[in-house]
Structure 1
Amino acid sequence: MTEDEIRDRAYAMPISSPAYPKFPFRFVDRETIIITYRTDPKALAGFVPAPLLPAEPIVKYEFISMPDSSGLGSYTETGQVVPVTFNGVSGGFTHAMYLDNEAGIASGRELLGFPKVLAQPKLEIRNDALVGTLDYNGVRVVTATMAYKYEQLDLAAVKKTLEAPGFLLKILPHVDGSARVCELVKYYVTDITVKGAWTGPASLELHPHCFAPVAKLPVLEVLSAIHILTDLTIAGAEVVHDYLRAPSNAS
Protein backbone atom coordinates (compact mmCIF):
# COMPACT_ATOMS: atom_id res chain seq x y z
CA MET A 1 0.00 0.00 0.00
CA THR A 2 1.53 3.30 -1.06
CA GLU A 3 1.39 6.55 0.92
CA ASP A 4 -1.00 8.01 -1.67
CA GLU A 5 -3.27 4.98 -1.30
CA ILE A 6 -3.24 5.41 2.46
CA ARG A 7 -4.20 9.08 2.18
CA ASP A 8 -7.01 8.27 -0.28
CA ARG A 9 -8.48 5.49 1.86
CA ALA A 10 -7.91 6.80 5.37
CA TYR A 11 -11.04 8.09 7.10
CA ALA A 12 -11.65 5.55 9.90
CA MET A 13 -10.01 2.68 11.76
CA PRO A 14 -9.03 0.08 10.75
CA ILE A 15 -8.03 1.11 7.24
CA SER A 16 -8.53 -2.40 5.83
CA SER A 17 -12.09 -2.64 7.17
CA PRO A 18 -13.48 0.65 8.57
CA ALA A 19 -15.96 0.23 11.41
CA TYR A 20 -18.49 2.51 9.67
CA PRO A 21 -19.16 4.14 6.28
CA LYS A 22 -18.76 7.79 5.34
CA PHE A 23 -21.43 10.46 5.86
CA PRO A 24 -24.36 10.85 5.58
CA PHE A 25 -26.21 8.60 8.03
CA ARG A 26 -29.94 8.21 7.39
CA PHE A 27 -32.25 7.01 10.16
CA VAL A 28 -35.70 5.63 9.25
CA ASP A 29 -38.53 4.98 11.73
CA ARG A 30 -36.45 6.41 14.55
CA GLU A 31 -38.58 6.14 17.71
CA THR A 32 -37.71 8.39 20.63
CA ILE A 33 -39.03 9.24 24.07
CA ILE A 34 -37.69 12.38 25.74
CA ILE A 35 -38.43 13.01 29.40
CA THR A 36 -37.61 16.55 30.50
CA TYR A 37 -36.82 17.02 34.18
CA ARG A 38 -35.61 19.68 36.59
CA THR A 39 -32.24 19.02 38.21
CA ASP A 40 -29.78 20.57 40.66
CA PRO A 41 -28.30 23.71 39.00
CA LYS A 42 -24.99 23.36 40.85
CA ALA A 43 -24.56 19.80 39.66
CA LEU A 44 -25.49 20.79 36.11
CA ALA A 45 -22.93 23.61 36.02
CA GLY A 46 -20.17 21.08 36.64
CA PHE A 47 -20.99 19.11 33.47
CA VAL A 48 -21.61 21.84 30.87
CA PRO A 49 -18.34 22.84 29.16
CA ALA A 50 -17.60 26.53 28.59
CA PRO A 51 -18.26 28.48 26.42
CA LEU A 52 -21.67 26.75 26.47
CA LEU A 53 -24.11 28.03 29.07
CA PRO A 54 -26.97 26.04 30.61
CA ALA A 55 -30.26 27.54 29.48
CA GLU A 56 -32.13 26.33 32.58
CA PRO A 57 -31.53 23.74 35.31
CA ILE A 58 -33.19 21.06 33.23
CA VAL A 59 -32.12 17.86 31.48
CA LYS A 60 -33.72 15.88 28.66
CA TYR A 61 -33.37 12.13 29.16
CA GLU A 62 -33.76 10.23 25.87
CA PHE A 63 -34.35 6.66 24.75
CA ILE A 64 -34.00 6.10 21.00
CA SER A 65 -34.79 2.96 19.03
CA MET A 66 -33.17 3.01 15.56
CA PRO A 67 -34.21 -0.09 13.58
CA ASP A 68 -33.01 1.20 10.19
CA SER A 69 -29.75 3.17 10.33
CA SER A 70 -27.79 3.36 7.07
CA GLY A 71 -24.40 1.70 7.44
CA LEU A 72 -24.89 1.13 11.16
CA GLY A 73 -27.75 -1.38 11.32
CA SER A 74 -30.33 -1.64 14.10
CA TYR A 75 -29.66 -0.49 17.64
CA THR A 76 -30.93 1.37 20.70
CA GLU A 77 -29.31 4.24 22.56
CA THR A 78 -30.06 6.37 25.57
CA GLY A 79 -28.60 9.36 27.36
CA GLN A 80 -28.84 12.91 28.65
CA VAL A 81 -29.03 16.14 26.66
CA VAL A 82 -28.77 19.54 28.35
CA PRO A 83 -30.44 22.63 26.83
CA VAL A 84 -27.71 25.24 26.35
CA THR A 85 -26.87 28.45 24.53
CA PHE A 86 -23.77 29.28 22.49
CA ASN A 87 -23.26 32.90 21.45
CA GLY A 88 -26.98 33.42 21.91
CA VAL A 89 -27.96 30.36 19.86
CA SER A 90 -30.08 27.74 21.61
CA GLY A 91 -29.30 24.05 21.26
CA GLY A 92 -28.63 20.87 23.18
CA PHE A 93 -25.36 19.57 24.65
CA THR A 94 -25.14 15.79 24.66
CA HIS A 95 -23.72 14.93 28.08
CA ALA A 96 -23.93 11.11 28.07
CA MET A 97 -24.91 8.31 25.67
CA TYR A 98 -25.12 4.53 26.07
CA LEU A 99 -25.79 2.09 23.23
CA ASP A 100 -25.43 -1.51 22.08
CA ASN A 101 -23.81 -1.19 18.64
CA GLU A 102 -20.08 -1.07 17.83
CA ALA A 103 -20.45 0.82 14.53
CA GLY A 104 -22.69 3.39 16.23
CA ILE A 105 -20.19 3.87 19.05
CA ALA A 106 -17.13 4.15 16.79
CA SER A 107 -18.71 6.51 14.26
CA GLY A 108 -20.30 8.75 16.87
CA ARG A 109 -17.16 9.12 18.97
CA GLU A 110 -14.58 9.40 16.18
CA LEU A 111 -16.43 11.63 13.72
CA LEU A 112 -18.39 14.09 15.84
CA GLY A 113 -17.51 13.47 19.47
CA PHE A 114 -20.70 11.87 20.75
CA PRO A 115 -19.90 10.56 24.28
CA LYS A 116 -20.95 7.01 23.42
CA VAL A 117 -20.33 4.06 25.74
CA LEU A 118 -21.21 0.36 25.35
CA ALA A 119 -24.17 -0.67 27.51
CA GLN A 120 -27.55 -2.41 27.23
CA PRO A 121 -30.47 0.00 26.68
CA LYS A 122 -33.98 -1.12 25.67
CA LEU A 123 -37.13 0.69 24.54
CA GLU A 124 -40.27 -1.40 24.33
CA ILE A 125 -44.05 -1.25 24.54
CA ARG A 126 -45.56 -3.00 27.55
CA ASN A 127 -49.32 -2.98 27.10
CA ASP A 128 -50.32 0.71 27.48
CA ALA A 129 -46.87 2.14 28.27
CA LEU A 130 -43.49 2.71 26.67
CA VAL A 131 -40.74 1.42 28.94
CA GLY A 132 -37.10 2.40 28.60
CA THR A 133 -34.38 0.67 30.60
CA LEU A 134 -30.60 1.01 30.76
CA ASP A 135 -28.45 -1.77 32.18
CA TYR A 136 -24.68 -1.50 32.47
CA ASN A 137 -23.28 -5.04 32.56
CA GLY A 138 -26.39 -6.36 34.27
CA VAL A 139 -26.86 -3.47 36.71
CA ARG A 140 -30.02 -1.38 36.28
CA VAL A 141 -29.12 2.29 35.90
CA VAL A 142 -32.27 3.88 34.40
CA THR A 143 -35.97 3.07 34.25
CA ALA A 144 -38.34 5.34 32.32
CA THR A 145 -42.04 4.95 31.60
CA MET A 146 -44.41 6.95 29.41
CA ALA A 147 -48.04 6.51 28.40
CA TYR A 148 -48.27 5.14 24.86
CA LYS A 149 -49.60 7.60 22.23
CA TYR A 150 -51.57 9.35 24.96
CA GLU A 151 -52.11 12.84 23.47
CA GLN A 152 -51.20 13.89 19.94
CA LEU A 153 -48.95 16.87 19.30
CA ASP A 154 -48.59 19.28 16.37
CA LEU A 155 -46.08 17.73 13.98
CA ALA A 156 -44.81 21.03 12.55
CA ALA A 157 -44.02 22.37 16.02
CA VAL A 158 -42.17 19.20 16.94
CA LYS A 159 -40.15 19.33 13.72
CA LYS A 160 -39.02 22.86 14.57
CA THR A 161 -37.58 21.68 17.89
CA LEU A 162 -35.62 18.95 16.11
CA GLU A 163 -34.01 21.51 13.80
CA ALA A 164 -32.12 23.15 16.68
CA PRO A 165 -28.36 22.45 16.63
CA GLY A 166 -26.64 19.98 18.89
CA PHE A 167 -23.30 20.51 20.63
CA LEU A 168 -20.61 17.94 21.43
CA LEU A 169 -17.23 17.96 23.17
CA LYS A 170 -14.91 16.02 20.86
CA ILE A 171 -11.69 14.69 22.40
CA LEU A 172 -9.11 12.53 20.61
CA PRO A 173 -5.85 11.57 22.35
CA HIS A 174 -2.29 11.87 21.06
CA VAL A 175 0.05 8.88 21.23
CA ASP A 176 1.51 10.23 24.50
CA GLY A 177 -1.93 10.35 26.12
CA SER A 178 -2.36 14.12 25.86
CA ALA A 179 -5.22 15.68 23.94
CA ARG A 180 -4.53 16.02 20.22
CA VAL A 181 -8.09 17.16 19.48
CA CYS A 182 -10.26 19.01 21.99
CA GLU A 183 -13.07 20.85 20.23
CA LEU A 184 -16.62 22.02 20.64
CA VAL A 185 -18.60 20.68 17.69
CA LYS A 186 -21.98 21.89 16.41
CA TYR A 187 -24.08 19.51 14.33
CA TYR A 188 -27.51 19.52 12.74
CA VAL A 189 -30.03 16.94 11.65
CA THR A 190 -31.58 17.41 8.19
CA ASP A 191 -34.26 15.95 5.92
CA ILE A 192 -36.58 15.55 8.90
CA THR A 193 -39.95 13.85 8.53
CA VAL A 194 -42.03 13.69 11.69
CA LYS A 195 -44.38 10.73 11.32
CA GLY A 196 -46.00 11.01 14.73
CA ALA A 197 -45.67 12.89 18.02
CA TRP A 198 -47.39 12.45 21.36
CA THR A 199 -47.17 13.62 24.96
CA GLY A 200 -48.41 12.07 28.17
CA PRO A 201 -47.58 11.21 31.78
CA ALA A 202 -44.11 9.84 32.44
CA SER A 203 -41.71 8.75 35.16
CA LEU A 204 -37.92 8.55 35.38
CA GLU A 205 -35.61 6.78 37.86
CA LEU A 206 -31.81 7.20 37.81
CA HIS A 207 -29.56 4.95 39.89
CA PRO A 208 -25.89 5.52 40.78
CA HIS A 209 -23.21 3.63 38.84
CA CYS A 210 -19.47 4.23 38.74
CA PHE A 211 -19.27 3.94 34.93
CA ALA A 212 -22.70 5.31 34.01
CA PRO A 213 -23.03 8.36 36.30
CA VAL A 214 -26.34 9.69 34.96
CA ALA A 215 -27.65 10.00 38.54
CA LYS A 216 -25.18 12.81 39.19
CA LEU A 217 -27.81 14.98 37.46
CA PRO A 218 -30.64 14.00 39.82
CA VAL A 219 -34.33 14.05 38.97
CA LEU A 220 -36.00 16.70 41.13
CA GLU A 221 -39.22 16.93 39.10
CA VAL A 222 -40.44 15.47 35.82
CA LEU A 223 -41.68 18.40 33.73
CA SER A 224 -42.87 16.84 30.45
CA ALA A 225 -42.49 13.93 28.08
CA ILE A 226 -42.67 13.45 24.33
CA HIS A 227 -42.78 10.36 22.11
CA ILE A 228 -41.86 10.88 18.46
CA LEU A 229 -41.43 8.79 15.32
CA THR A 230 -39.16 10.33 12.67
CA ASP A 231 -36.94 9.90 9.64
CA LEU A 232 -33.85 12.12 9.66
CA THR A 233 -30.26 12.47 8.49
CA ILE A 234 -27.01 13.38 10.23
CA ALA A 235 -24.81 14.71 7.45
CA GLY A 236 -21.95 16.53 9.15
CA ALA A 237 -20.90 19.26 11.57
CA GLU A 238 -18.55 22.17 12.19
CA VAL A 239 -15.99 23.04 14.84
CA VAL A 240 -17.08 26.17 16.69
CA HIS A 241 -14.43 26.30 19.43
CA ASP A 242 -10.92 24.82 19.63
CA TYR A 243 -9.80 24.46 23.26
CA LEU A 244 -6.18 23.80 22.30
CA ARG A 245 -5.96 27.11 20.43
CA ALA A 246 -8.09 29.23 22.74
CA PRO A 247 -6.41 31.59 25.25
CA SER A 248 -5.62 29.87 28.55
CA ASN A 249 -7.87 32.31 30.45
CA ALA A 250 -10.92 31.62 28.21
CA SER A 251 -14.12 30.82 30.07
Structure 2
Amino acid sequence: MRETEILERAFAMPLTSPSYPPGPYRFVNREYLIITYRTDPAKLRAVVPEPLELDQREALVKYEFIRMPDSNGFGDYTESGQVIPVSFRGRRGSYTHCMFLDDEGPISGGRELWGFPKKLAKPTLRTEVDTLIGTLDYGPLRVATGTMGYKHREVDLSHVKASLEAPNFLLKIIPHVDGTPRICELVEYHLEDVTIKGAWTGPAALHLTPHALAPVADLPVLEVVSAVHILADLTLGLGKVVHDYLQQPSRRLLEARAMSLVG
Protein backbone atom coordinates (compact mmCIF):
# COMPACT_ATOMS: atom_id res chain seq x y z
CA MET A 1 0.00 0.00 0.00
CA ARG A 2 1.48 3.34 -1.09
CA GLU A 3 1.85 6.27 1.31
CA THR A 4 -0.65 8.29 -0.74
CA GLU A 5 -3.22 5.50 -0.37
CA ILE A 6 -2.67 5.43 3.39
CA LEU A 7 -3.26 9.18 3.65
CA GLU A 8 -6.34 8.98 1.44
CA ARG A 9 -7.87 6.21 3.55
CA ALA A 10 -6.69 7.29 7.00
CA PHE A 11 -9.79 8.26 8.95
CA ALA A 12 -10.03 5.93 11.96
CA MET A 13 -8.60 2.73 13.40
CA PRO A 14 -8.09 0.14 12.07
CA LEU A 15 -7.14 1.41 8.61
CA THR A 16 -8.72 -1.41 6.58
CA SER A 17 -11.91 -1.68 8.65
CA PRO A 18 -12.64 1.42 10.77
CA SER A 19 -14.81 0.99 13.86
CA TYR A 20 -17.10 3.82 12.68
CA PRO A 21 -17.79 5.73 9.43
CA PRO A 22 -17.34 9.45 8.74
CA GLY A 23 -20.25 11.68 9.79
CA PRO A 24 -22.58 13.44 9.88
CA TYR A 25 -23.96 11.61 12.92
CA ARG A 26 -27.74 12.03 12.99
CA PHE A 27 -29.87 10.62 15.81
CA VAL A 28 -33.60 9.94 15.46
CA ASN A 29 -35.89 9.43 18.48
CA ARG A 30 -33.06 9.96 20.93
CA GLU A 31 -34.55 9.51 24.40
CA TYR A 32 -33.13 11.02 27.58
CA LEU A 33 -33.76 10.59 31.28
CA ILE A 34 -31.76 13.35 33.01
CA ILE A 35 -31.80 13.54 36.81
CA THR A 36 -30.18 16.65 38.26
CA TYR A 37 -28.85 16.29 41.78
CA ARG A 38 -26.80 18.17 44.36
CA THR A 39 -23.44 16.71 45.40
CA ASP A 40 -20.36 17.41 47.53
CA PRO A 41 -18.80 20.70 46.27
CA ALA A 42 -15.22 19.66 47.13
CA LYS A 43 -15.54 16.37 45.26
CA LEU A 44 -17.05 18.18 42.28
CA ARG A 45 -14.21 20.71 42.14
CA ALA A 46 -11.70 17.86 42.20
CA VAL A 47 -12.93 16.39 38.88
CA VAL A 48 -13.64 19.52 36.79
CA PRO A 49 -10.55 20.57 34.82
CA GLU A 50 -9.36 24.15 34.55
CA PRO A 51 -10.04 26.48 32.81
CA LEU A 52 -13.67 25.35 33.20
CA GLU A 53 -15.42 26.99 36.15
CA LEU A 54 -18.17 25.79 38.48
CA ASP A 55 -21.08 27.84 39.72
CA GLN A 56 -19.95 28.81 43.22
CA ARG A 57 -23.55 28.79 44.51
CA GLU A 58 -24.42 25.30 43.33
CA ALA A 59 -22.82 21.85 43.24
CA LEU A 60 -24.97 20.14 40.62
CA VAL A 61 -24.55 17.00 38.52
CA LYS A 62 -26.79 15.75 35.73
CA TYR A 63 -27.02 11.98 35.68
CA GLU A 64 -28.09 10.89 32.18
CA PHE A 65 -29.55 7.73 30.71
CA ILE A 66 -29.78 8.03 26.91
CA ARG A 67 -31.48 5.57 24.54
CA MET A 68 -30.41 5.85 20.87
CA PRO A 69 -32.41 3.44 18.70
CA ASP A 70 -31.51 5.04 15.33
CA SER A 71 -28.12 6.70 14.86
CA ASN A 72 -26.21 7.07 11.59
CA GLY A 73 -23.12 4.87 11.56
CA PHE A 74 -23.43 3.84 15.20
CA GLY A 75 -26.65 1.83 15.11
CA ASP A 76 -28.84 1.08 18.13
CA TYR A 77 -27.32 1.58 21.57
CA THR A 78 -27.70 3.09 25.04
CA GLU A 79 -25.39 5.15 27.23
CA SER A 80 -25.30 6.53 30.75
CA GLY A 81 -23.10 8.87 32.72
CA GLN A 82 -22.51 12.17 34.49
CA VAL A 83 -22.52 15.68 33.03
CA ILE A 84 -21.56 18.72 35.11
CA PRO A 85 -22.84 22.29 34.57
CA VAL A 86 -19.86 24.61 34.03
CA SER A 87 -18.90 27.90 32.41
CA PHE A 88 -16.04 28.72 30.05
CA ARG A 89 -14.99 32.31 29.41
CA GLY A 90 -18.39 33.53 30.54
CA ARG A 91 -20.42 31.01 28.52
CA ARG A 92 -22.54 28.46 30.36
CA GLY A 93 -22.39 24.85 29.23
CA SER A 94 -21.73 21.29 30.37
CA TYR A 95 -18.67 19.14 30.98
CA THR A 96 -18.98 15.40 30.34
CA HIS A 97 -17.32 13.67 33.27
CA CYS A 98 -17.98 10.01 32.39
CA MET A 99 -20.02 7.90 29.98
CA PHE A 100 -20.70 4.15 29.81
CA LEU A 101 -22.22 2.43 26.77
CA ASP A 102 -22.77 -0.88 25.07
CA ASP A 103 -21.55 -0.38 21.47
CA GLU A 104 -17.97 -0.44 20.15
CA GLY A 105 -18.48 2.07 17.31
CA PRO A 106 -19.54 5.07 19.39
CA ILE A 107 -17.00 4.18 22.09
CA SER A 108 -14.17 4.33 19.53
CA GLY A 109 -15.59 7.28 17.62
CA GLY A 110 -16.47 9.20 20.74
CA ARG A 111 -12.98 8.86 22.19
CA GLU A 112 -11.01 9.35 18.97
CA LEU A 113 -12.94 12.24 17.40
CA TRP A 114 -14.29 14.30 20.30
CA GLY A 115 -12.62 12.93 23.42
CA PHE A 116 -15.74 11.53 25.10
CA PRO A 117 -14.76 9.64 28.30
CA LYS A 118 -16.50 6.44 27.22
CA LYS A 119 -16.13 2.93 28.62
CA LEU A 120 -17.87 -0.37 27.89
CA ALA A 121 -20.75 -1.28 30.22
CA LYS A 122 -24.45 -2.16 30.11
CA PRO A 123 -26.89 0.76 30.46
CA THR A 124 -30.64 0.53 29.86
CA LEU A 125 -33.57 2.93 29.61
CA ARG A 126 -37.13 1.61 29.51
CA THR A 127 -40.69 2.22 30.64
CA GLU A 128 -42.09 -0.18 33.22
CA VAL A 129 -45.86 0.39 33.67
CA ASP A 130 -45.98 3.93 35.13
CA THR A 131 -42.24 4.47 35.67
CA LEU A 132 -39.33 5.46 33.44
CA ILE A 133 -36.34 3.41 34.59
CA GLY A 134 -32.66 3.87 33.80
CA THR A 135 -29.98 1.44 34.97
CA LEU A 136 -26.22 1.00 34.59
CA ASP A 137 -24.47 -2.33 35.13
CA TYR A 138 -20.67 -2.63 35.05
CA GLY A 139 -20.04 -6.31 34.61
CA PRO A 140 -22.47 -8.16 36.90
CA LEU A 141 -22.87 -5.24 39.34
CA ARG A 142 -25.56 -2.54 39.31
CA VAL A 143 -23.91 0.86 39.84
CA ALA A 144 -26.74 3.28 39.00
CA THR A 145 -30.55 3.24 39.10
CA GLY A 146 -32.68 6.23 38.15
CA THR A 147 -36.48 6.39 38.16
CA MET A 148 -39.06 9.01 37.22
CA GLY A 149 -42.85 9.08 37.09
CA TYR A 150 -43.77 8.60 33.42
CA LYS A 151 -44.88 11.83 31.69
CA HIS A 152 -46.48 13.44 34.73
CA ARG A 153 -46.20 17.01 33.39
CA GLU A 154 -45.09 18.57 30.12
CA VAL A 155 -42.25 21.09 30.27
CA ASP A 156 -41.35 24.11 28.13
CA LEU A 157 -39.92 22.75 24.88
CA SER A 158 -38.05 25.95 24.07
CA HIS A 159 -36.21 25.75 27.39
CA VAL A 160 -35.27 22.11 26.75
CA LYS A 161 -34.07 22.93 23.22
CA ALA A 162 -31.89 25.75 24.53
CA SER A 163 -30.35 23.47 27.13
CA LEU A 164 -29.46 20.85 24.49
CA GLU A 165 -27.96 23.47 22.19
CA ALA A 166 -25.68 24.96 24.88
CA PRO A 167 -21.91 24.38 24.59
CA ASN A 168 -20.52 21.02 25.71
CA PHE A 169 -16.93 20.46 26.83
CA LEU A 170 -14.68 17.39 26.86
CA LEU A 171 -11.13 16.61 27.94
CA LYS A 172 -9.49 14.80 25.01
CA ILE A 173 -6.36 12.80 25.82
CA ILE A 174 -4.42 10.69 23.30
CA PRO A 175 -1.03 9.27 24.36
CA HIS A 176 2.18 9.23 22.33
CA VAL A 177 3.84 5.88 21.58
CA ASP A 178 6.17 6.46 24.55
CA GLY A 179 3.22 6.85 26.92
CA THR A 180 3.45 10.62 27.31
CA PRO A 181 0.45 12.75 26.24
CA ARG A 182 0.53 13.65 22.55
CA ILE A 183 -2.88 15.34 22.64
CA CYS A 184 -4.33 16.93 25.77
CA GLU A 185 -7.03 19.40 24.84
CA LEU A 186 -10.27 20.93 26.00
CA VAL A 187 -12.79 20.36 23.20
CA GLU A 188 -16.07 22.17 22.62
CA TYR A 189 -18.91 20.66 20.60
CA HIS A 190 -22.60 21.38 20.02
CA LEU A 191 -25.75 19.41 19.27
CA GLU A 192 -27.16 20.70 15.97
CA ASP A 193 -30.46 20.69 14.05
CA VAL A 194 -32.29 19.83 17.25
CA THR A 195 -35.99 18.95 17.04
CA ILE A 196 -37.73 18.38 20.38
CA LYS A 197 -40.59 15.91 19.98
CA GLY A 198 -41.64 15.99 23.62
CA ALA A 199 -40.39 16.70 27.13
CA TRP A 200 -41.87 15.83 30.51
CA THR A 201 -41.04 15.91 34.20
CA GLY A 202 -42.18 14.04 37.29
CA PRO A 203 -41.02 12.78 40.69
CA ALA A 204 -37.58 11.19 40.49
CA ALA A 205 -35.03 9.21 42.47
CA LEU A 206 -31.40 8.25 41.87
CA HIS A 207 -29.24 5.62 43.58
CA LEU A 208 -25.48 5.22 42.92
CA THR A 209 -23.35 2.33 44.18
CA PRO A 210 -19.54 2.51 44.66
CA HIS A 211 -17.44 0.66 42.09
CA ALA A 212 -13.67 0.79 41.54
CA LEU A 213 -13.86 1.07 37.73
CA ALA A 214 -17.22 2.82 37.34
CA PRO A 215 -16.92 5.41 40.15
CA VAL A 216 -20.16 7.31 39.55
CA ALA A 217 -20.83 7.23 43.31
CA ASP A 218 -17.70 9.33 43.89
CA LEU A 219 -20.05 12.26 43.23
CA PRO A 220 -22.64 11.27 45.84
CA VAL A 221 -26.34 12.09 45.65
CA LEU A 222 -27.17 14.54 48.42
CA GLU A 223 -30.48 15.79 47.01
CA VAL A 224 -32.42 15.21 43.79
CA VAL A 225 -33.26 18.65 42.36
CA SER A 226 -35.21 17.85 39.18
CA ALA A 227 -35.71 15.38 36.36
CA VAL A 228 -36.66 15.56 32.70
CA HIS A 229 -37.61 13.00 30.06
CA ILE A 230 -36.84 14.15 26.49
CA LEU A 231 -37.51 12.75 23.02
CA ALA A 232 -35.56 14.46 20.23
CA ASP A 233 -33.94 14.26 16.81
CA LEU A 234 -30.50 15.87 16.53
CA THR A 235 -27.09 15.85 14.90
CA LEU A 236 -23.92 15.41 16.92
CA GLY A 237 -21.65 18.18 15.65
CA LEU A 238 -17.89 17.79 15.38
CA GLY A 239 -15.73 19.65 17.85
CA LYS A 240 -13.13 22.40 18.05
CA VAL A 241 -10.16 22.81 20.38
CA VAL A 242 -10.63 25.70 22.82
CA HIS A 243 -7.65 25.06 25.12
CA ASP A 244 -4.41 23.13 24.55
CA TYR A 245 -2.83 21.90 27.78
CA LEU A 246 0.45 21.05 26.02
CA GLN A 247 1.10 24.65 25.01
CA GLN A 248 3.06 27.00 27.28
CA PRO A 249 2.75 27.46 30.19
CA SER A 250 0.81 24.20 30.63
CA ARG A 251 3.68 22.19 29.13
CA ARG A 252 6.12 23.57 31.72
CA LEU A 253 3.74 22.49 34.49
CA LEU A 254 3.52 19.02 32.95
CA GLU A 255 7.30 18.72 32.70
CA ALA A 256 7.76 19.92 36.27
CA ARG A 257 5.24 17.35 37.49
CA ALA A 258 7.06 14.59 35.57
CA MET A 259 10.39 15.61 37.10
CA SER A 260 8.90 15.57 40.60
CA LEU A 261 7.64 12.03 40.05
CA VAL A 262 11.07 10.91 38.84
CA GLY A 263 12.75 12.59 41.83
TM-score normalised to the size of structure 1?
Answer: 0.98
Q: Deviations over 1:21-62 (max 9, x none)?
A: 112100000000100000000000000000001123100000
Give CA-to-partner distance per residue, 1:84-142, whole Å, 9 cap, x none.
00001100000000000000100000000000000000111110001111000010100
Aligned-partner Cα distance in 1 for 2:158–2:166: 14
Secondary structure of the corresponding residue to residue 42 of structure 1: helix
Aligned to 2:261: none
| TM-score with structure 2 setting the length | 0.94
Q: Secondary structure at the match of 1:124?
A: strand
1:126 equivalent in structure 2: 128
Residue number in structure 2 paired with 1:106: 108
Identity %: 61
User: In the alignment, what sits opposite 2:47?
Assistant: 47
Opposite residue 83 of structure 1, the aligned amino acid is: P
Whether contact under 8 Å (2:66, 2:80) holds in the other structure is yes
Q: Choose which of 86, 92, 95 in structure 1 pairs with 2:94.
A: 92
Q: Take 1:182 and 1:152, find their aligned partners in 2: how far apart are those partners?
A: 41
2:229 equivalent in structure 1: 227
2:22 corresponds to which residue? 22
Runs in 1 of length 4+ with deviation above 2 angstroms?
none
| Deviates most, 149-158 or 166-175 | 149-158
Alignment size in residue pairs = 250
What's the Cα RMSD here? 0.9
For the residues of structure 1 that align with 2:52 and 2:157, how far apart are their CA atoms?
29
- Normalized per residue, the structure richer in helix is 2
Distance 1:37 1:157 in 2: 19
Q: Name the one with the larger strand percent.
A: 1
Structure 2 residue runs without a partner (length 5+): 254-263
Which SS does the other structure have where 1:7 is aligned?
helix
Q: How does 1:50-65 map to 2 (within 5 A)?
A: 50-55=50-55, 56-65=58-67
Which residue matches 1:82?
Answer: 84
1-side partners of 2:118 and 2:163: how far apart? 23
1:4 aligns with 2:4: yes
Taking the aligned partners of 1:173 and 1:108, their CA distance within structure 2 comes to: 16
Structure 1: runs of 5+ lacking an equivalent:
none
Q: Once the 2 structures are TM-superposed, how far is the Cα of residue 158 of structure 1 from its aligned partner?
A: 1.1
CA distance in 1, matches of 2:231, 2:108: 25
1:177 maps to: 179
Deviations 1:10-31 (A, max 9, x none): 0100010110011210000000
Find the partner of 1:188 among 187, 190, 199. 190
Q: 2:19 aligns to what SS in structure 1?
A: coil
